[in-house]
Amino acid sequence: MNFSSSRKRPPLALELTPLIDVVFLLLIFFMVSTTFVSDEGGLSVELPRSEQRDLIQEAQDVALVLGANGAIELDGQAMGLEAIGKALRERAERDPSTLVVVRADRSIEHGRVVEIMDRVREVGLTRFAIATETAGASPQ
């Protein structure tokens, strides 16, 4: 009893086309998703240069960022001047020794930075620093 059929079966072949499609889709997905990862900071500021190398060793309690377009952020959240005053007042009530680090774009007018620093003083915070870059350093 011979059960083998006389007709020939085509050899089994692995279809690579769907596999290649999936690989290219994954490649495109990862390429697109990595382009969305950017700086954690909201505003991009270009800090003024400083020759001194004094670094603040203490933890930054509050980061106040002034963008070139006039936008203001407090700890990464965009706010108006009144809202920043209220938020800083709450921080001053909790801890009067809170350090405020002002990161102002170098194109911001000096008067605007002074206005912000006055607002910080008005709410009762007296410890603040102005962030700069050392000459030849890249922005962080």
Query: Does the pLDDT of residue 73 top 50, yes or no?
Result: yes
CA dist., res. 66 & res. 63, Å (int): 10
State residue 57's pLDDT score. Answer: 45
What pLDDT digit, counting tens, does each position of 27-60 carry? 999 888 876 655 455 666 676 776 665 555 444 4
Query: Does the pLDDT of residue 123 top 80, yes or no?
Result: yes
Full-model pTM:
0.53
Beta strands 77-78 and 72-74 are antiparallel
Query: Does the pLDDT of residue 127 top 50, yes or no?
Result: yes
In the chain, what percentage of residues exceed pLDDT 70? 75
Residue 77 three-state SS: strand
Query: Residue 34 corresponds to which tokens in the numbers above?
Result: 């990595």
Contact 120, 64 (CB under 8 A): yes
Which domains does the chain show, CATH number per domain?
Answer: 49-134 (3.30.420.270)
